Amino acid sequence: MSIRLSYSLRARLLFFLLAAIAVGALVQGAIAYRSTLAQADDIFDSLLQRTALSLGTGDGLLRTGPTHALGAGSPVADDLIIQIWTPDGLRVFNSRSRRPLPDQIVLGFSDVRMEGITYRVYSLATPFQVIQVAQDMNVRTHMARALALRTIAPIAAAAPILMLIIWCVVSWSLRPVKRARAQVAARQPEDLSPVNVQGLPDEIQPLIQELNLLLERMRGAFAQQKQFVGDAAHELRSPLTALRLQLQALQRAGDAESRQVAEQRLVAGIDRATHLVEQLLSMARHESAAEPSPAAPVDLADVLRQALSETLPQANAKSISIDMDGAAEAWVQGHRDALVLLARNLLDNAIKHTPEGKHIRLRLEQTADKASFMIDDEGPGIAPAERERVFDRFYRAEGNTQHGSGLGLSIARAIANRHGAEIYLEDPPDGQGLRARVEFARQR
């Protein structure tokens, strides 16, 4: 079982700042240690050499002894081991009898390890004697270590003060963030107004600005949803009232013929109400942000054929002929079912407004950078001033006598917008009827 540690920006800043200070102190201590050790090597090597030379210059060395030559009570003398040999290999003096140096002599500087301790040895040969002066290497390392610790000690002593200062600075810097959090926490659920970015750090402002954009989109979505619910309730009131009246008429019918007429009107009313509810559900689904599946390549030719097969019964009922020509295929990125609904709504709208016995033409086109399809009908058309308004929900153009929900074109535009497409209502080339043109960026 894993335990999730809480994420604190303040704690992380403190940790990394103190870690950087600690690393810097360690690096500084290591540099001081290496530098001091190198200097100690030079100084003590010179001392060993000068001590050996001073001992080798006096002819009364054996009488006075090395301690006299170095000076009684000298602190350096306590760190040195001195041995003197005759030319024939007889040791005549050893300052520390319990730690004799090796008999094998290497003139000049050398490192000798005895009893687990490394010594730095300088050997000097004169006509009368051989002098060895040695020093424990730990003396040098202890000196370098002590200086390195003295370098780090002030930083370690100041660490608590640095922690307090950093804590105060970070807390002071995060005060605007706490104010913004308190401002959001104090809001009512319905309050979607922008969060004030004044006084916030530059690093936090982009986050709050994106939050404000999200709130703005939510305000628009809620307003649209509220309007949609109100419009839907208004539009459903009329069909439901009509159904009630038709049911009452059916109940009052006195003979079989009147009853049959009332039943037909009731069935037609139920069909219209069902169609309205289906359109409302489609509108709500395609205006929502979620898609049931990821976009995929879709052939618009296949979309048009499917929409044509679904609307052909309505066209046949009005003896309307429908032709399809143009490109054999045109691929776009999208959702096939949604695009079929888009094409079906446009085709259904064309069938409703085309008189009986007339003609509808479908055409698919593609260029290097876009694909489009067009639906030309021979209906009364739409005045240019109203061609944009007919995409509004529940709007019916002036003079429109066809029964409908007023949602077909709104759903078509919502689907087009989700696919990055545009719908244009234009005059057809012959000037009669209406052309609905849908234009997509072509899938490469």
CA distances to 143, 324, 340 from 328, rounded to whole Å, are 91, 10, 17
The predicted structure's pLDDT at residue 75: 40
Averaged pLDDT for residues 36-48 = 85
pLDDT, averaged across the chain? 79
What percentage of the chain exceeds 90 in pLDDT?
A: 12
Q: What's the pLDDT tens digit per position in 51-82?
A: 888 887 754 344 444 444 444 334 445 678 88
Considering the domain delimited by 201-290, tell me its CATH architecture: Orthogonal Bundle (1.10)
**Minimum mean pLDDT range among 5-19, 78-92, 122-136:** 5-19
- CATH superfamily, with its number, for domain 296-441: Histidine kinase-like ATPase, C-terminal domain (3.30.565.10)
Q: Are 273 and 303 in contact (CB under 8 A)?
A: no
Structural domain spans, the chain: 11-60+76-158, 201-290, 296-441
**The most confident of 151-155, 225-229, 402-406, 419-423, by mean pLDDT:** 419-423
Cα–Cα distance for residue pair 345/335, rounded to 1 Å:
16
Cα–Cα distance for residue pair 226/244, rounded to 1 Å:
27
- pLDDT at 388 > cutoff 70: yes
288-314 in b/e form (b: 16+ CB < 10 A) is eeeeeeeeeebbbbebbebbbeebeee
Q: What's the pLDDT tens digit per position in 261-310?
A: 878 877 877 877 776 677 667 666 666 545 556 788 999 999 999 999 88
Q: Are 356 and 323 in contact (CB under 8 A)?
A: no
What dihedral angle (degrees, nearest 10) is formed by the CA atoms of 8, 14, 20, 21?
-170
The reply to whether 11-60+76-158 and 296-441 are identical in fold is no
Q: How confident is the model at residue 235 (pLDDT cuts 50, 70, 90)?
A: low
Q: What's the pLDDT tens digit per position in 112-168?
A: 887 778 888 888 888 888 888 888 888 888 888 888 888 888 877 887 888 888 888
* Sequence-separated (6 or more) residues with CB below 8 Å from residue 189: none
Averaged pLDDT for residues 193-203 = 79
The predicted structure's pLDDT at residue 167: 82
CATH topology of domain 11-60+76-158: Beta-Lactamase (3.30.450)
pTM comes to 0.49
CA atoms within 13 A on the CB side of 193: 8
Whose structure tokens read 């009509």? 242
